[in-house]
Homo-oligomer: A and B are copies of this chain.
Amino acid sequence: MKLSWHRRNLHLKHPFQIASVRRPETDDKQVLLVTIEHKGHVGWGEASPVSYYSQSLDSAEAVFERVAAMLGDDPFALNAILDPLWERFGEEPAAISAIDIALHDLAGKLVKLPVWKRLGFDSSRTPLTSFTIGLDEPAVVRQKVLEAADFPILKIKVGTTADEAILAAVRDAAPDKMLRVDANGGWSETEAADRAAHLARVYRLELIEQPTLPGCHDALPELRRRAGCPIVADESCRFPRDVPACAGVFDAINVKLSKCGGIRRALQMIHAARAAGLGVMIGCMVETSVGIGAAAQLAPLADWIDLDGHLLLADDPFEGIGGHAGRLTLNDRPGLGIVER
């Protein structure tokens, strides 16, 4: 099998910012697109390495350079290929995710089945996705909410001193939408429970994601009790081994391919979460339809999905994720069902 990769510059429709990363607002984003070729078929994968998980485009490319000779000749040999990658490059899950996704796409194309069907999932079970509104001035947030009129569920980035002003602007523009908030660990432990209880009540929140920083979980029992809505772990739950400790602390986990290392790892996390009585959200980074399309294959297993990364792009180089107004439609094309525009 032949592995190739290239960097791709993407442009966002709006600048995007979240609470945990204090960087200048960005309106572009680079991802790594990979292909694995085998017997005339091409599997696509995508890596979205992020600095707050200590990964970069450079570090992911360094993995690809060493992996290229390790892929062998059997695209179905998922574990035989991926297990050694985890042993050698375990700190680079975004890169491994790209390989895992490309192998799933390729294997699906070889047996002429969509990934979701090959894995036995029920595509009719796909929940509606939320649409994410990044941190911004309340007036800009209000404008974004109006532009997102088609989406019945919004996920609002919070985690700063402007939370109340932002949510007031959101509710003003969208009095009846389902609202989720994601603090990206931006709430301090001392005020998190008060803030969660207040915001959940006043702004009728469906759920709260990652209120405090990973490891700072002491406030969560009181926060969960007082907020009265599900509390979802994101940064606190990266890998399967993080799942058991989330039980009793969080109500659910947010599973992202680029964070955990691909479809196989995501499945392990989902199964571990269900066994522990935890709910499951499938989330994403800002990614093209390749990365989002891969995550969408798992949507039938989720309680909530937040798969809008491709919708934030002005220039997604791929297409194939159907649906509108929050509905994602898994198509019947082999593999991921994603094609270049």
Contacts and interface: CB of A to CB of B under 8 A. Distances in A.
From DSSP, what is the main secondary structure of chain A's interface residues? Answer: helix
B122 A244 contact: no
Contact of A80 (B122, B272, B277): B122
Interface residues of A, number: 32
B244 A276 contact: yes
A274 to B, nearest CB: 6
Contacts of A125: 79
Interface string A260-271: 000010011101
B240 A274 contact: yes
Contacts of A113: 76, 111
A277 B243 CA distance: 11
B267 A271 contact: yes
Contacts of A272: 271-272, 274-276
The 5 closest A-B pairs by CB, nearest first: A78-B120, A272-B275, A271-B271, A80-B122, A240-B275
5 contacts: A76-B118, A111-B113, A120-B264, A244-B247, A268-B274
Given A77-B117, A243-B275, A267-B271, 16 more contacts: A76-B113, A76-B117, A76-B118, A76-B120, A78-B121, A79-B121, A79-B122, A80-B122, A111-B113, A118-B118, A120-B264, A240-B271, A244-B244, A268-B275, A272-B272, A272-B276
